[in-house]
Amino acid sequence: MSFTIIKHPLITDKLTRMRREDTSSKDFRENLNEIGQLMVYEIFRDVPLKEVDIKTPVTKTKGYTIDIPVVLIPIIRAGLGMTEGIQKLVPTARIAHIGLYRDEKTLEPVEYYAKKTENIESSYVIVVDPMLATGGSASKAIDIAKGWGAKHIKFVCLVSVDKGVKKLQNDHPDVDIYTASLDPVLNNKGFIEPGLGDAGDRIFGTK
């Protein structure tokens, strides 16, 4: 399905702050959350609305509200850092969690946690992870979400590379992909270049 690079000067500016190696963990988290909020506008462009009757202080009229439950699925750990920003704008969203880490040698994702939400089958599902590198983690997380019955799935990341995008499009052609940047290189350690380092470590200050 679609692949969208969400370009906006505010996103570009914040992403540049995040890329700098001297950016603190606090500033990294704040900018990640803010970019998550800015990306929401584009990601939810096609969310279905239903007509409702409302009364303003002046008169009766028709209004429109979101007509589908929303489920966010952060891929733990780094996806957690982007979820809060999205949730601020969609406060009714439920959160499911999928914990994956990449084996350092094989770069294959290893599952260590998975907790679904109710009604995921009929929800608008957004899988969130700042990094799309080899694409293994995103693809595996979407496998798990589909195993839970999820159907309308989007994947949102901050930084991606061609290899990961291609893998995801190949494994899950029904999933729309959104990113703030398509970076040029995936190095032989599986790191995106220029990238922003290990997002999980930078969010949680573990290195």
Binding-site residue positions: 77, 102, 129-137, 192, 197-199
| Contacting residue, 28, 36, 73, 129, with ligand PRP by CB under 6 A | 129
Q: What is the dihedral of CA 190, 193, 195, 197, to 10 degrees?
A: 50
Q: Smallest gap, in angstroms, from Cβ of residue 54 to ligand PRP?
A: 41
- The strand pairing partners of 155, in sequence order, are 127, 177
Q: Smallest gap, in angstroms, from Cβ of residue 24 to ligand PRP?
A: 18
DSSP state of 123: S
Using Cβ positions, the residue closest to ligand PRP within the complex turns out to be 200
Q: How far apart are CA 72 and CA 138, in angstroms?
A: 14
| Contacting residue, 18, 32, 43, 77, with ligand PRP by CB under 6 A | 77
| Contacting residue, 14, 136, 145, 183, with ligand PRP by CB under 6 A | 136
Binding mask 145-164 toward ligand PRP (x if CB under 6 A, else -) reads -------------------x
- Classify residue 66 by burial, with Cβ atoms within 10 Å: 0-12, 13-18, 19+: middle
Closer to ligand PRP by Cβ: residue 11 or 128: 128
Binding-site members for 5-phospho-alpha-D-ribose 1-diphosphate are 77, 102, 129-137, 198
Binding of residue 195 to ligand PRP (CB under 6 A): no
Binding of residue 133 to ligand PRP (CB under 6 A): yes
Q: How far apart are CA 130 and CA 110, in angstroms?
A: 18
Q: Which amino acid makes up residue 200?
A: G
Q: How many CB atoms lie within 10 A of CB 166?
A: 12
Q: How far apart are CA 124 and CA 84, in angstroms?
A: 17
DSSP assignment of 138-169 equals HHHHHHHHHHTT--EEEEE-SEEEHHHHHHHH
| Contacting residue, 23, 123, 134, 179, with ligand PRP by CB under 6 A | 134
Q: Given the rule CB under 6 A, which residues bind ligand PRP?
A: 75, 77-78, 100-102, 107, 109, 129-138, 164, 190, 198-200
